[in-house]
């Protein structure tokens, strides 16, 4: 079973390129561009690793990390 990585970034180019690189390396990638939907996706997908854009809402980052 592949390691599941969730990427949260509001820039689609970054999501696309990062996602392609990680998928080529054999990871399962979940891309989210809407920081308000990130919590819901995180809870349903339960990724092994979370990559979050520093520009994302600070409270969302803290909430996800405490989950």
Q: What is the DSSP string of 17-32?
A: HHHHHHHHTT-EEEEE
pLDDT tens digits, 23-54: 999 999 999 998 778 888 988 999 999 898 86
Alpha carbon dihedral 41, 8, 46, 30, in 10-degree steps, equals 80
Indicate if the alpha-carbon torsion angle 46, 50, 53, 54 is positive or negative.
positive
Show me where the domains of the chain are located: 4-66
Q: Are 4 and 28 in contact (CB under 8 A)?
A: yes
Q: How confident is the model at residue 17 (pLDDT cuts 50, 70, 90)?
A: very high
Q: 5: helix, coil or strand? A: strand
Whole-prediction pTM value? 0.81
Q: What is the pLDDT of residue 58?
A: 57
Closest CA to 32 of 56, 11, 52, 8: 8
When the pLDDT of each residue in the chain is averaged and rounded to a whole number, the result is 86
Q: Give the pLDDT band (50/70/90) at residue 15.
A: very high
CATH for 4-66 (3.40.50.2300, 3.40.30.10, 2.60.120.10, 3.40.50.720): 3.40.50.2300
């Amino acid at each position: 079973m592949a390691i599941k990585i969730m990427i949260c970034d509001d820039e689609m180019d970054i999501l696309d390129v990062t996602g392609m690189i990680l998928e080529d390396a054999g990871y399962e990638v979940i891309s989210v561009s809407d920081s308000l939907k990130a919590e819901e996706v995180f809870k349903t997908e339960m990724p092994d690793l979370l990559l979050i854009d520093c520009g994302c809402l600070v409270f969302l980052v803290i909430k996800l990390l405490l989950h």
